Structure 1
Amino acid sequence: MNTDKGIKLALILVAVYVGIVVLFESSLGFFQPEAGNTIVIETFDGAGNGYTRVVSLLTSAGNEYVAVNHWPRAWYGRLEETPRIGVARDGGRTIFGAGIVSGAEHDRVQADNPTPLAFRFLTGFPPRYFVRLDPQ
């Protein structure tokens, strides 16, 4: 009987945690908070349709990056398909090339812009990718 109670408790805790992650991610997606170092990006599908998203702007070694560090990441899939990104800031809009970052550059950007453990917990520990904004 104790094993059954332990399993039930573990399943309840997992369900509560998944609920917290879904609630947190959904609220970020719905409210799209803009503050501090956030920018509005626009990604494009194969037909040229644009989709906006609020993300944090990161810097490393003189370059600008955006991080893909949430489970909802359709915008990243569009970037892989169409590697250009519109950035709205300071009342203007600029189109950049989107450089998918890997290897040593990824490790450097991660080290320069660490993610707090509390944030990683609330987002369900998603893998983190970076996109470099390449001027065109």
Structure 2
Amino acid sequence: MAVHLQSLPLICFLLAAGADPTLKGSISLHIAAKQGDLATLRLMVERDDIIEFQWRSRLRAIVEDLRALENVRFSGHLDQGPRKPLPALGTAPSKRRRLADRCQLDNSLFKSAIGAKAWDIVAYLMHTKGLVPDVDTLRMIDTHGMP
């Protein structure tokens, strides 16, 4: 639903919390392809250590706040222990590293992208991700006229 609504903050939150874009037949990937939304498709497939670092840091802060709230609820006082500051927006982890993709892509994504005439997604799947289209997909590309 987050992909359908094109809610990037919610998509980032779900991915940082461990959501798997390949569940339910990779429907979230297909929705992004049918919408012609290459940025969202890339966000769900490729891991970016800067985005992961920022979202995980903020999730940790939320968990700490919820634990403090639970403490107040049960003990009646707020524990003001030392708190790790949140990284500033745009802050990168100390070492930049290439992370593996979140999921494996399959040829069925071609059909979703071709149906939407999202040629940038078709090119991304072929050239960047190395997917080889099958004969039916090549016929679809020929029929729809890829530029």
TM-score by length of 2: 0.23
The structure having more radius of gyration, on CA atoms, is 2
More strand by share: 1
TM-score by length of 1: 0.24
